[in-house]
């Protein structure tokens, strides 16, 4: 028996994990999309218009700033593939690990993200790089 099994599940704390996982899939697809228009379309599906994206190298506010950062970051990872690991959710937050590297090869960078959701999209995201 799990330690928490004696406690009732409060429905407002439970998110649709499948929907959140699909959102994470779109988020990762956005990082892999090199066509600017297609990437921006994914970004608009994933992030709220006034979203913030913060990692050790940037604090971007709004969809345009996030898109600008993505375009610049992709130049550093040309020919590489972003993938994600386990998706964890509760309340209005999601946590997942990610990595980027050559397809079939060892990752060159990895980390994890924590995002807060509003209306099924990311309103705020903090990215963490392993070893940084």
Helix axes 36-46, 17-32, angle to 10 degrees: 160
Residue 132 has pLDDT above 90, yes or no: no
**pLDDT at residue 59, rounded to an integer:** 98
**pLDDT at residue 16, rounded to an integer:** 87
Among 11-15, 17-21, 38-42, 109-113, which stretch is predicted with the lowest mean pLDDT? 11-15
pLDDT tens sequence across 62-91: 999 999 999 999 888 989 999 999 999 998
- 7-14, long-range: CB within 8 Å, 24+ apart, which pairs? 13/90, 13/91, 14/90
Residue 13 has pLDDT above 80, yes or no: no
Residue 32 has pLDDT above 60, yes or no: yes
Q: Which pTM was predicted?
A: 0.87
Q: Looking at the DSSP assignment, which residues form a beta bridge with residue 114?
A: 95, 126
Residue 15 has pLDDT above 70, yes or no: no
**pLDDT at residue 131, rounded to an integer:** 78
**pLDDT at residue 52, rounded to an integer:** 98
Whole-number percent of the chain with pLDDT over 70: 88
Mean of all residue pLDDT scores within the chain? 90
**pLDDT at residue 60, rounded to an integer:** 98
Eight-state DSSP code of residue 57: T
Q: For the chain, where are the alpha helices, taking DSSP H only?
A: 17-32, 36-46, 63-76
């Amino acid at each position: 028996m799990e330690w928490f099994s004696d406690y009732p599940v409060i429905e407002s704390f439970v998110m649709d994990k499948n929907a959140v996982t699909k959102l994470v899939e779109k988020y990762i697809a956005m990082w892999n999309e090199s066509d600017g228009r297609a990437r921006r379309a994914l970004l608009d599906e994933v992030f709220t218009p006034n979203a913030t994206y913060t990692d050790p190298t940037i604090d971007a506010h709004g969809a345009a700033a996030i898109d600008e950062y993505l375009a610049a970051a992709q130049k550093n990872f040309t020919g590489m593939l972003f993938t994600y690991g386990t998706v964890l959710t509760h309340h209005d937050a999601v946590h997942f690990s990610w990595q980027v590297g050559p397809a079939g090869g060892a990752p060159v960078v990895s980390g994890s993200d924590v995002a807060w959701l509003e209306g099924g999209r990311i309103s705020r995201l903090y990215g963490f790089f392993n070893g940084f």
